[in-house]
Structure formats: structure tokens, C-alpha cells
Amino acid sequence: MPDREIRLPARWPAAATPPLRSARLRVSPEDFVVEELPAASPDGAGEHLWVQVRKRGWNTADVARALARWAGVRPRQVGYAGRKDRHAVTTQWFSLHLPGRPDPAPAAWPTGIEVLATARHGRKLQRGALRGNAFRITLRAVRGDTSALGDWAEAVARRGFPNYFGPQRFGRGGANLAQAADWFAGRYRPRGKAAAGMLLSAARAFLFNRVLAARVADGSWRRALPGELMMLDGSRSLFAAPDPDAVLQARIDAGDAHPTGPLPGKPAALQPEAAVAALEQRVLQDHPALLAGLVAQGAQAARRPLRARPEGVAVAVDGDSVILSFTLGAGSYATALLGELVETVAEGPVEGRDATPRGA
């Protein structure tokens, strides 16, 4: 049975009415500043050279290739914890595998790449090996009730926000999701494991967001339903909650645990039951081809928290601009938080008024 039409919504449902009606994002790269918070720091010895880079106008993969050329190694010998936006100013660590070799000589880097620090370590930097990211985001041409921003910041820090996957997971215009559907239907074949993994991730993210949107609509995204699978905060540890009670809800309210949603694939040992299983089946039955394709390609089912909680939320108003600072744990998207703040976000400079030149 073919899937119903796969279409990304203009915006996923918000948990509450955003206080701002519209704003512009990334008028210049400096309006989106991200600092990666690694899970570990280099200890000063070992066959891997860790390199901290600040980049502007570059994507992470291109920086990794530039580092590989500098060190005279293959791109696969370069590690990094996560991909960072191109149209932003971001700071992150990379690792270069240099067994028995000295550090490369200092180099003149292209515009937009700045090496901040280097240090040796015994291990490669692995994907996902980060505590989170610190953000400073400037929204311009803001329209809406800026007097409500203090109350909004307090509320979102207390209750969290729906942990949607951001649009970058789906590719420009949803291209990754469309290619995943074509792949599963036999109309397309990805080149290489990395490309295949990207398409599998897009399909799983879409299905997760569909379930989360349904739970935002019924108000249960931060409330345990019968048959819930809960995840401990800051970990991937799951536990079943067949009959949620007031004690469990108190843990949810305190941020100690979160209800979860599906990342579909080959069935895992622990499955939701009762109301949660029925809700997920009802939402996902519209997409049998995506579900079957994920299983056929060997994706292993997993769970993801329905809620994310930011830390250090601060909001400042400067004329018609709003500056938002916060920290998010690994895997959560700043764009999902912005969806709770602004109804409509237009990206990039006003047409014909590119405020600053882009990097390479």
C-alpha cells in the first residue's frame, strides 16, 4: 500500500501561541552563533590531534576536508562530533589521526576558517560525542509582543519545548525525505553509506515529528500516557510506565524523565503499549512504505524524548531585534525552540540587501 502524500508542513504545531508574530533569521552569519560543548576534552597526549575551529560560511564537511589536506590524511581520518550550520558562526572540535607523526606546520587558512586551539588526545572524536551546544541567536525585523518575552523564557525553561527534528534533517526543501521515499520505492539509489544514512535519518525524523505533532495537539507531549516508554534525562536509558501515576508525573515536571516517541525501524525488545501504542499506530499507518523501507534497509528502532529543556535561557530586546541565548543538549534543534517563540521566521537578508559578504 503506498504512503499518503509525504509533505513537510510549513511549521510543526507549537505547544503554545508564540509571543512573536514574525522575524528574520540569519540576516548575517553573526546572527546565528553556536559553540559546541564537547563531552570530553583532549588530555594532551596520543596519536590524534584535536583542532578547535571557528568557521563562518563553511559547512562542517568542507572544513573537515580542508583539515585533511592540511595534515596530509584521508578525510575518513578526520573526526567531528556533529555537523554545524553553514550560514552561521560556529565553533567546534575536529580530530586528525596522526600516528607517529608530528603536528602539521601552521597554515594560512581561507577566509572563514580560524584555528583556535590544538591538542593531542588518545582517541578519535566520534559522532555524537558532545554534551550539547550553546547558542546566541539574533532575530531581526521582529513583530509581536516583546513585553511577553520574560514570561516566555521562564515558561519554556520550566516546561521545555517539543523536541522536533529541525528542517536541516530533511534537506533543502525536504529533498532528503523525498529521496528516501524514492529509494524505498526502487526509483533511486544513494551513493555510499553516508548518503544512505542521511536518507534513513530523514525518514525516521519525519515519522517521529508526525507522532510528536499529534501529542502536541492532544497536550500529552509532556504527560505520560498508559503504556509509555520513558527516558531518563541526559541519557538514553528507557523504562516502561504501563500505569503512569502522580509520582511519575512529578518526575516529568521536574525534568528528571521524558515521554518518548518512535524512531522506526526493525522492532526493538522494549515496545510501547496500551494508549501510546494505539496512538503511534494510528499516526504511522499513513506511511507504510516508509516504515517498510526502514526495516528493509536494516534501521534499528529506537526512541527519542518528546521534550527538550533549554538551559540558561536569556532574552534581550534591542530596537526591533531580539537576542536569544540558551544551551541545548545533544540532538535537540534550536529551530524547534524558535518555533515556540516566533510564528513565522524568514531566513536570510532582505532581498537586494545582503548585509555582509559570505565566507568561502
- Whether residue 253 lies in the annotated active site: no
353's grid cell: 540587501
Distance CA 58, CA 61 (A): 8
Grid coordinates in use for 11? 511549521
Under 8 Å CB-to-CB from 325, ≥6 apart: which residues? 134, 135, 136, 137, 312, 313, 314, 315
Distance CA 84, CA 38 (A): 13
The single residue of 43, 85, 145, 243 carrying the catalytic annotation is 85
Helix (H, G, I), strand (E, B) or coil at 275: helix
- The C-alpha cell at 326 is 540558551
Beta-carbon count within 10 A of 147 CB? 9
Plot region of 123 (φ>0 → left; ψ -120 to 50 → alpha; else → beta): beta
Nearest 5°: the CA angle 275, 280, 286 is: 140
Instruction: Provide φ and ψ at 335, rounded to 5°.
Output: -65, -30
Q: Give the whole-angstrom CA distance, residue 93 versus residue 41.
A: 10
Among 267, 263, 220, 269, smallest CA distance to 244 is for: 220
- Give the three cell numbers for residue 357: 559578504
Task: Give the catalytic positions in this structure.
Answer: 85
